[in-house]
Amino acid sequence: MAQNTVKLSLQFKIQTFLAVMAIAIFILTYVTILGCAVLLTYLCVYYAIQLVLAKPIFLTIVLGLGMTGLGFVVSFFLVKFLFSTKKVDRSHLIEITKADEPELFELINDIVKKVNTSFPKKVYLSSDVNAAVFYDSSFWSMFLPVRKNLQIGLGLVNSVTKSELKAILAHEFGHFSQKTMKVGSYVYNVNHIIFELVNENDTFQQKVQEMADVSSYFTIFIMLAEYIIQFIKWILKKLYVVINKSYLGLSREMEFHADEIAASVTGYEPLKESLLRLNLAEHSYNSILSYYEGEIENNFVSKNIYKEQFFVLNFLGINNNLQIINNLPSISIDEMNRYVDSKIVIKDQWSSHPSTIDRIERLEKTGFKISLLDNDPANNFFKKIEKYQEEFTRKMFSGIEYKGAITKLNLEEFSASFTESYINNTFSKIFNNYYDNNNPIPFDLQLLDRTNEILSFEELYSDQKVELTNKRKALENDQNILQNIYDKVFEINSFDYDGKKYKNKDSKNLLNELKEEHDAINKQIEANDQAIFCYFKNLEKSTSDVNQLENLYKTFFEYDKEFNKKYEIFTKLSQDLEFINYNTPNEKIMDNFKAIRELEEDLKLEIREIFRNKLFEDELTKEIKSTFEFYLKENLEYFGTRVYYDDNLSILFKSMNYFVHLLSRGYFLHKKNILLYQEELELQKRNSVTNK
- DSSP notation for 184-243: HHHHHHHHHHHHHHHT--HHHHHHHHHHHHH-HHHHHHHHHHHHHHHHHHHHHHHHHHHH
In a domain, 561, yes or no: yes
What pLDDT is recorded for position 268?
94
Count the domains in the chain.
3
* Residue 473 and residue 587 in one domain: no
Q: Are 154 and 127 spatial neighbours (Cβ–Cβ below 8 Å)?
A: yes
Q: Are residues 525 and 643 located together in one domain of the fold?
A: no
Is the residue at 323 inside a domain?
Answer: no
Pair 555, 670: CB distance under 8 Å:
yes
CB 19, CB 250: distance < 8 Å: yes
Residues 532 and 661 in one domain: no
The reply to whether 629 and 603 lie within a common domain is yes
For 638, other C-beta atoms within 10 Å of its C-beta total: 19
| In a domain? residue 201 | yes
Cα separation, 213 vs 52, whole angstroms:
22
Same domain, 550 and 607: yes
Q: How far apart are CA 60 and CA 48, in angstroms?
A: 8
How many contiguous H segments (helices) and E segments (strands) does the chain have? 22, 11
Which residues of the chain, if any, have pLDDT below 70? 1-6, 8, 82-88, 136-146, 176-189, 191-192, 196, 198-217, 247, 337-353, 449-451, 491, 691-692
What does the pLDDT look like over 161-194, one tens digit per residue?
Answer: 999 999 999 998 887 665 555 565 566 667 667 7
Q: How far apart are CA 641 and CA 647, in angstroms?
A: 16
* Same domain for 564 and 659: yes
Res 460: pLDDT = 96
Q: Do 585 and 675 lie in a common domain?
A: yes
Identify whether 222 is part of a domain: yes
Contact indicator for 287, 312 with CB cutoff of 8 Å: yes
Task: Give the chain's length.
Answer: 692
The pLDDT of residue 350:
41
Assigned domain for 598 exists: yes
Instruction: Say yes or no: 431 and 476 in one domain.
Output: yes
List own/partner pairs for 377-381 with CB under 8 A and 24 or more apart: 377/161, 377/162, 377/327, 378/157, 378/158, 378/160, 378/161, 378/162, 378/164, 378/165, 379/157, 379/158, 380/162, 381/101, 381/103, 381/104, 381/107, 381/157, 381/162, 381/165
CA distance 668 to 425: 8
Range of the domain at 34: 2-86+193-250
> 436, 317, 338: which is closest to 675 by C-alpha?
436
Q: Which helix (H) or strand (E) holds 323?
A: strand 323-325
Residue 361 sits at the vertex; the CA angle it makes with 357 and 362, to the nearest 5 degrees, is 120
Q: Specify the pLDDT at position 352.
A: 52
Domain end residue (candidates: 541, 557, 589): 541
Is 240 among the domain residues? Answer: yes
Among candidate residues 204, 234, 250, the one where a domain is terminated: 250
Q: Indicate the residue among 541, 570, 604 that finishes a domain.
A: 541
Q: Are residues 498 and 607 in the same domain?
A: no
How far from 388 is each of 9, 52, 305, 328, CA to CA, in Å? 40, 70, 11, 21
Provide the CB-side half-sphere exposure for 584 (13 A, CA): 18
Is residue 605 in a domain?
yes
How far is it, in rounded angstroms, from Cα 379 to Cα 382? Answer: 6
Query: Could you report how far apart the first and last alpha carbons of the chain are, in Å?
Result: 70
Report pLDDT for 4: 40
DSSP per position, 28-43: HHHHHHHHHHHHHHHH
Same domain, 529 and 573: no
Q: Rounded to an integer, what distance in angstroms lies between the CA atom of residue 500 and that of residue 496?
A: 5
- Which class for 29: exposed (0-12), middle (13-18), buried (19 or more C-beta within 10 A)? middle
Q: Rounded to the nearest 5 degrees, what angle is found at the Cα of 446, between the Cα atoms of 440 and 448?
A: 60
Q: In this structure, what DSSP letter does residue 447 have?
A: S
Same-domain check for residues 531 and 564:
no
Residue 370 lies inside a defined structural domain of this protein = no
On whether both 61 and 209 belong to a single domain, the answer is yes
Quick one: pLDDT at residue 348? 47
